[in-house]
Amino acid sequence: MKESAQPAGTFIFDEIRKRAESHWENLWNDQKPVVLVGTATCGRAAGALDVLQAVKEVVKNRNIECGIFEVGCLGHCYAEPLVIIRKPGYPSICYGHVTPVLAENLVTNLILNDDPSLEFVLGAFEGNDLIPSFSDFPRAQYEKRIILRNCGRINPDEIEHSIAQGGYQSLVKALRMKPEEIVEEIKRSKLRGLGGAGFPAGEKWEVCRQSQGEPKYLICNGDEGDPGAFMDRAILESDPHSVIEGMIIAGYAIGARQGYIYVRAEYPLAVQKVQNAIRQAAEFKLSGENVLGSDFSFDITLFQGSGAFVCGEATAMIASIEGKPGIPRHRPPRLATKGLFGKPTVLNNVKTLAYVPRIVKNGAEWFSQMGTEKSKGTAVFALAGKVVNTGLVEVPMGTTLRQLLFQVGGGITKGKRFKAVQIGGPSGGCLPEEALDIPIDFDSLQERGAMMGSGGMVVLDEDDCMVEVARYFLDFTQKESCGKCTLCRLGTKQMLDILEDITKGRGKMEDLETLEELAEDIKIGSLCGLGRTAPNPVLTTLKYFRDEYEAHIKEKRCPALMCQSLMAYYIIPEKCARGCDACVGTCTVEAISTDKKRRIKVIDQEKCVKCNTCMVACPPQYNAVVKLSPPDRLPKPK
């Protein structure tokens, strides 16, 4: 670092920062209450916009003086919509499962009547004597929020919120360093690509920096196509500036003038937030011509992905940005030497780039002391499926799956038994109970046949059929295969046909061998990651849950009672309450009627579409609706 004259940009940024901090102070001081409503996509799905409206109205009607603003995703998706109220003298209190009516009451109770409505409290932000804070939660000792630190706490539409929280300070620091020094710092930190493959980021940067060819490009991969993953969406919706800052620093380090951020069109809110963030960064002279008065210039363009999973693959993404169908090409040449428009290009995931400002700020040592020997830092996971605390979590690498699912995730819903966890989407695998004690890092997961992937984790319980899950993923990859490689195009189709036969009770034992053979062939005969990893869900389920495949084939029975062709719904006459009509009323196809003689409910198997509605509707004290497999176990009507 040069000690000489005041480096360019510092003065301008100091002004910006002072303004941002006083703006934040004004909002978040201890004079006036503040209400925050989480309005990321999952909050909206749960009704957050109506809640926001209700808050605005009650504040207006009751003449309450308070600030209201929208925030992103706190990660507690299971409790959406979330409202956070801060009143001077109280900690910031977060309420969960808020409805518009409840929101009105919470606001008036706390702000006007000093009643914190303890029964609706999820937790407090700060430690205090009144309410358990989030850091007192048992899960807090496993979590470490670095990438997610601002998510749900700032308004993603206001760059000043981000700056007041330390945003763009690393950019100022980076501009004072030589680009090579930044590359070296990232290399020393051992940051690995958090998009799933785990390639060392610093190495990519170095090759690109040293490559001949101008202009160079930087691409941020936000094409989170894995079904079951939503980390990148949440980050882009909740704290887009951390990613933008990372992009600008990366651009400076590798010597790029132009950056692209590729976001899926299926994430309209993320697209909107990113667009806004790009505009604001340019307005504040943090990007564009002469960033902060330096001689470095960097423009960022948003590119909307058009719904092709394969575009998450680097070379396919480049084809897509060039305006072509997203078909991967052979590597080498590596992107770092020959990428977008044939020029040296670095492509990093959203989370990798969000980490860059932190590493620049705190240094490589700070980063590399977290995590394991070969995987440093933290990992962000999206927990979904049959787990209590669905949502986003960030834990240091090396945390075990068991800690993540049971301590942080709160275990399995409805007291059911854990069966498997699906990690890494269509490229990953299903790990059983006995694999839960392995540490989460790039290499351990791969050894077990799964992979880190982008970080989607779907928890499966005893009601999930592993053959059906494997069929589901094959169906997905088969549809998403771009068709370039024969084995990926036709091999996955063949595997899918076999799996469909098995789930319909038409499988043969020799099919299992064919599946394994095909899987190996597809792995060898495919060019890109999509094909090479497509068989993973089948291979891992065959490895860990072979008995389920055999039950389907030999007994025509689905042990989890999930495969629709192999099961039927039945109402146990002894348990059915005579006067209750819940199932009859809710049946979506009028397949349930009352047997006049015995005055019990009977399902017409011909009409039944197996939609599970009656099972949900049957009151728990009767619990009369059951699933049977194989269907010929159904008692014959008398």
Which of 189, 382, 201, 177 shows the shortest CA–CA distance to 294?
Answer: 177
- The nearest distance, CB 384 to other proteins, in angstroms, is 3
- The nearest distance, CB 272 to other proteins, in angstroms, is 12
Report how far residue 213's alpha carbon sits from residue 210's, in angstroms, rounded to the nearest whole number: 9
**Contacting residues toward other proteins, per CB under 8 A:** 41-42, 44-47, 77-78, 80, 224-230, 233-234, 265-268, 303-304, 306-309, 320-326, 382-386, 390-391, 422, 425, 456, 458, 460, 464, 469, 472-473, 476, 480, 482, 586, 588-589, 609-613, 616
Helix (H) or strand (E) holding 105: helix 100-107
- The nearest distance, CB 361 to other proteins, in angstroms, is 29
Q: Output 225 or 246, the one with its CB closest to other proteins.
A: 225
407 close to 414: Cβ distance less than 8 angstroms: no
Q: Output 509 or 609, the one with its CB closest to other proteins.
A: 609
260 close to 484: Cβ distance less than 8 angstroms: no
Which of 397, 410, 380 shows the shortest CA–CA distance to 439?
Answer: 397
- The nearest distance, CB 229 to other proteins, in angstroms, is 7
- The nearest distance, CB 475 to other proteins, in angstroms, is 9
- The nearest distance, CB 214 to other proteins, in angstroms, is 18
Q: Output 183 or 231, the one with its CB closest to other proteins.
A: 231
Report how far residue 172's alpha carbon sits from residue 157's, in angstroms, rounded to the nearest whole number: 22
Q: Output 12 or 628, the one with its CB closest to other proteins.
A: 628
C-alpha angle 450/351/314, rounded to 5°? Answer: 70
- The nearest distance, CB 585 to other proteins, in angstroms, is 10
Provide the residue type at 181 as one letter: E
Q: What is the dihedral of CA 238, 242, 243, 247, to 10 degrees?
A: 160
- The nearest distance, CB 591 to other proteins, in angstroms, is 12
Q: Output 200 or 227, the one with its CB closest to other proteins.
A: 227
- The nearest distance, CB 335 to other proteins, in angstroms, is 17
C-alpha angle 107/109/111, rounded to 5°? Answer: 60
Q: Output 191 or 387, the one with its CB closest to other proteins.
A: 387
Q: Output 229 or 538, the one with its CB closest to other proteins.
A: 229
- The nearest distance, CB 338 to other proteins, in angstroms, is 17
Q: Output 84 or 234, the one with its CB closest to other proteins.
A: 234
The string of DSSP letters for 154-175 reads S-TT-HHHHHHTTTTHHHHHHH
Q: Output 463 or 595, the one with its CB closest to other proteins.
A: 463
Characterize 300-338 residue by residue with b for buried, 16 or more Cβ atoms within 10 angstroms of its Cβ, and e for exposed.
Answer: bebbbbeebbbbbbbbbbbbbbeeeebbbeeeeebbbbb
Which of 601, 607, 606 shows the shortest CA–CA distance to 588?
Answer: 607
Q: Output 119 or 590, the one with its CB closest to other proteins.
A: 590
Which of 185, 214, 217, 219 shows the shortest CA–CA distance to 202?
Answer: 185
Q: What is the largest CA-CA distance in the chain?
A: 98
The string of DSSP letters for 16-48 reads HHHHHHHHHHHHHSSSS-EEEEE-SHHHHHTTH
The string of DSSP letters for 589-633 reads T--EEEETTTTEEEE-TTT----SHHHHHS-TTT--EEEESSGGG
